[in-house]
């Protein structure tokens, strides 16, 4: 794989790090990572290798407070990360694109689609891995302990141990409150494109019932849901990565 140094895009004073691989074949791929993840993760790297091998463009980037981007993580909200995602998308993509969103990136991807449709545009396809739309309201808030509620009220943020990092997850009061204005599971979601969801049934962070709920809000589009019986939240095993690229290839053939 050709090594890529990051490029940087200024979005309202914040330096957003990105890697953009050019390719001649359509559609291009756009990677949207999860909460506390970055564009150097296994799935993003695997897709970039596939894109290079098959001459497709590939765009991946870090939200503010993530990876190589500037900004403070604690200042992040869905609205802010959506704004950065749209700015990067518009600056670096041309022609049809498949949006590929992992976990929180699935929520961001769905919001991007809504904003594109408002502008008279639409993606070529949507692939969602363990998608976590509305996770602040649907998954975080219902599980808050009294101590965590007190932390939010007094400090403006709360911490939760992470299985994926020695550093705890931090959820801010602003993130949770802003999430309410970005909810997508409160009505019909129209994407205007094929949708394929990959969901592990052993996911401890986003239960597969959440993916089933999402499907209920996508009644208009061509939606495929693949449940991986022994899959976890990361879906980064060799067989998961193989399934991901086969899903990309199938969607390209479909569109």
Rounded CA-CA distance 184/111 in Å is: 7
For the chain, how far is it from start to end, CA to CA, in angstroms? Answer: 27
The per-residue pLDDT for range 181-228, each reduced to its tens digit, is 999 999 999 999 999 999 999 999 999 999 999 999 999 889 999 999
Q: Which domain holds residue 105?
A: 7-134+188-249
pLDDT at 2: 57
pLDDT at position 169 is 87
Would you say residue 181 lies in a domain?
no
Dist. CA 49–CA 60, nearest whole Å: 12
Residue 168 included in any domain:
no
Residue 166 has pLDDT above 90, yes or no: no
Please report whether residue 242 resides in a domain: yes
Q: Cα(8)–Cα(12) distance, rounded to whole angstroms?
A: 13
pTM of the model: 0.97
Asked, for residue 45, whether it belongs to a domain, the answer is yes
Does 4 or 201 have the greater pLDDT score? 201
Distance CA 211, CA 227 (A): 9
Residue 229 lies in a domain: yes
What Cα–Cα distance (Å) separates residue 252 from each residue in 15, 89, 98, 126, 140? 32, 19, 9, 11, 35
Number of domains in the chain: 1
- pLDDT higher than 90, residue 161: no
Q: What is the CATH number of the domain that holds 34?
A: 3.40.50.1820
Please report whether residue 36 resides in a domain: yes
For the chain, give the DSSP string.
----PPEEEEETTEEEEEEEE--SEEEEEEEE--TT--TTSHHHHHHHHHHHHHTEEEEEE--TTSTT--S-GGG--HHHHHHHHHHHHHHH--S-EEEEEETHHHHHHHHHHHHHHHTT---SEEEEES--TTHIIIIIGGG--HHHHHHHHHHSEEEE--SS-SSPEEEEHHHHHHHHTT--TTS----SS-EEEEEETT-SSS-HHHHHHHHHT--SS-EEEEEETT--SS--SHHHHHHHHHHHHHHHHH-
pLDDT given at position 217: 97
141 in a structural domain: no
Count other Cβ atoms within 10 Å, centred on residue 58.
Answer: 23
Query: Does 140 score more than 80 pLDDT?
Result: yes
**Roughly what angle, to the nearest 10 degrees, separates helices 78-92 and 173-180?**
70
Write down the mean pLDDT value for the chain: 96
Task: Quick: pLDDT tens for 57-67.
Answer: 999 999 999 99
Given a cut of 80, whether residue 165 has pLDDT beyond it is: no
> Quick one: average pLDDT of 244-252?
98
Q: What is the pLDDT of residues 63-99, one digit of tens each?
A: 999 999 999 999 999 999 999 999 999 999 999 999 9
């Amino acid at each position: 794989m050709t090594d890529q140094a990051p490029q940087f895009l200024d979005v309202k004073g914040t330096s957003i790090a990105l890697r953009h691989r050019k390719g001649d074949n359509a559609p291009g791929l756009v990677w949207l990572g999860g909460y506390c993840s970055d564009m150097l993760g296994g799935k993003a790297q695997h897709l970039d290798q596939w894109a290079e091998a098959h001459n497709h463009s590939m765009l991946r980037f870090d939200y503010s407070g993530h990876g190589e981007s500037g900004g403070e993580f604690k200042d992040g909200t869905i609205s802010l990360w959506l704004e950065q995602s749209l700015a990067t998308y518009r600056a670096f993509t041309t022609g049809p694109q498949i949006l590929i969103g992992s976990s929180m990136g699935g929520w961001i991807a769905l919001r991007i689609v809504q904003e594109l449709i408002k502008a008279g545009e639409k993606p070529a396809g949507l692939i969602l891995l363990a998608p976590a739309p509305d996770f602040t309201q649907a998954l975080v808030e219902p599980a808050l302990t009294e101590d965590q509620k007190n932390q939010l009220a007094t400090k403006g943020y709360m911490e939760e141990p992470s299985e994926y990092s020695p550093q705890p997850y931090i959820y801010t009061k602003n993130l949770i409150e802003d999430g309410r204005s970005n909810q997508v599971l409160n009505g019909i979601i129209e994407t205007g494109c094929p949708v394929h969801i990959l969901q592990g049934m052993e996911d401890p962070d986003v239960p597969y019932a959440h993916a089933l709920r999402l499907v209920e809000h996508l009644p208009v589009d061509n939606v495929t849901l693949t449940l991986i019986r022994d899959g976890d939240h990361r879906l980064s095993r060799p067989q998961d990565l193989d399934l991901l690229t086969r899903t990309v290839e199938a969607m390209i053939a479909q569109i």
